[in-house]
Amino acid sequence: MRIGYLDCISGISGDMFLGALVDAGLPARVLGETVAELNRAADLGVRLEISRVTRAGIAATKVDVWTGDQKDQPRLEHQRYQPHKHGHTHEHAHENVLGLEHHHSATAVLEHSHRGLAEIREIIQRANINVTAKQTALAIFQALATAEAKVHNVDVDSVHFHEVGAADAIVDIVCAAVGSNAMAVDEWVCSPLNLGSGTVQCAHGEFPVPAPATAELLKDVPVFSSGIQAELVTPTGAAIVKVLASRFAPLPALKISAVGYGAGSREFDGHANVTRLLLGTSEAASVGEASTSQLTSEVAADVVTVLEANLDDLNPQVFGYVMQRLLDEGALDVFYTPVQMKKNRPGMLLTVLAKNEQAGALSRLLFNETTTLGIRTRQERRLILERGWEKAITPWGDVRIKVANLNGAATSTPEFEDCRRIAEQHQIPLKHVMQEALRAYLESKNG
């Protein structure tokens, strides 16, 4: 198993993560091509500057985002009549959400436009990048916006990014998603995070480090402070590791193949302001993992959390409700397996597949909604085919077709809910609708 270990000896920010990727071997052109694609998709007017620097004697790679003639700086001074701004002024040199704010008034007058989360989602969807990287970028932005919305007590869709701050954030987050995917890492592991200390200046005054959004993102994450008087973990950096990392732990046993250092902008006396990336192969890789190495190179891979609980005293009426609640809260899959439990009782094994960052919330839901007294958790790697949606035109209406590809060999499946709706509306057998939808789709593809 290929592991990427983030050693956050001086915290982490978006630009430090990108610098570590490049320093560990990611071709700079991958980031350059991603920025070019973002400029095409949204006319962001941004470019990257990649340079070699030293921090406390350690050679590292520095990545800067330029928007026009400005480097990593939002233009908060150009805003007028904007009530209740919630922008953070960070000392960590490259914080991408410096201009993040929400609107309470439709009469706010701005000299520069703002990008809401919905618009940023559209930009990422329009960009011609790897599907897995696209999903990762969307998850990172969602985590970031959710944290800010919680801190400021607003709806997620009310969170807006100032145009320059948003451009920086889009570049850092999308490049982080594309770059991490290109490194072909099976599991990302992160060290406990060095937060720094002191205070950070926000729109309504000073707050102690970590900034409010960073603290929200780092729930359930091990953190510490080395005493350095600066903010070392930015909200963007926190969102990236919260989504990518399957666990926060000391360095696991691995055979190191590459090392990279990503530089922050500030110099500290006697302390290297860098994020270190160690790439290597786990010595514990199983024969099964080795046998899938060729397939892994052909399809996307990620790591998910599996939650399991044995239930023998839950009212059967509750099972359907719990399953729907779990799916509504973001579970990737939920299923029940009949089992024979102690004292010869029939029971059910409840299994939930979850993104790593959602495991905590879904575990709490299980404790609240079921009778279980304990939940087993583990991380498992999965291989994922790239997939998308196409359309079949039937005599009764359009049906979405889910299409997955592996080296040109496609599988096509009519969307069940579309077929069910048509069958009920037109009083025709469901299987006929599904057969006709697939036939119409294949006919349209084959000419």
Q: So where are the chain's domains?
A: 2-282, 300-384, 386-446
Give CA separation, 279 vs 257, 276, 282, 284, 366, in Å: 6, 10, 10, 15, 36
Q: Measured in whole angstroms, how far is the alpha carbon of residue 67 from the centre of its chain? A: 24
100 - beta bridge partners?
161
Confidence tier at 157 by pLDDT (50, 70, 90): confident
Q: Is 391 exposed, middle or buried (0-12, 13-18, 19+ CB in 10 A)?
A: middle
Collapse the DSSP code of 172 into the 3-class scheme (helix H, G, I; strand E, B; otherwise coil) and give the result: helix
Rounded CA-CA distance 253/239 in Å is 26
When mean pLDDT is compared across 15-19, 201-205, 284-288, 427-431, the lowest value belongs to 284-288
Residue 341 Cα to chain centre, angstroms: 38
- More confident position, 387 or 210: 210
| Matching CATH number, 300-384, of 3.40.50.12500, 3.30.70.1380, 3.30.420.40, 3.30.70.20 | 3.30.70.1380
What pLDDT score was predicted for residue 79?
26
pLDDT per residue over 61-111, tens digit each? 999 998 876 666 432 222 222 333 333 333 343 333 333 333 333 333 333
> How many CB atoms are located within 10 Å of the residue 409 CB?
8
**Token pair in block for residue 374:** 């304990």
Place of tokens 């009920």: 424
Question: How far apart are the C-alpha atoms of 294 and 179, rounded to whole Å?
Answer: 21
**Per-residue pLDDT, 282:** 80
- DSSP, residue by residue, 368-414: HHS--S--EEEEEEEEE-EEEEEEEEETTEEEEEEEEEETTEEEEEE
State the pLDDT at residue 395. 93
Q: Kindly report which listed range (200-209, 232-241, 281-290, 356-365) carries the lowest average pLDDT score.
A: 281-290
What is the rounded CA–CA span in Å between residue 40 and residue 36? 6
Q: What is the CATH number of domain 386-446?
A: 3.10.20.300
Q: At what angle do helices 235-244 and 163-182 cross, to 10 degrees?
A: 30
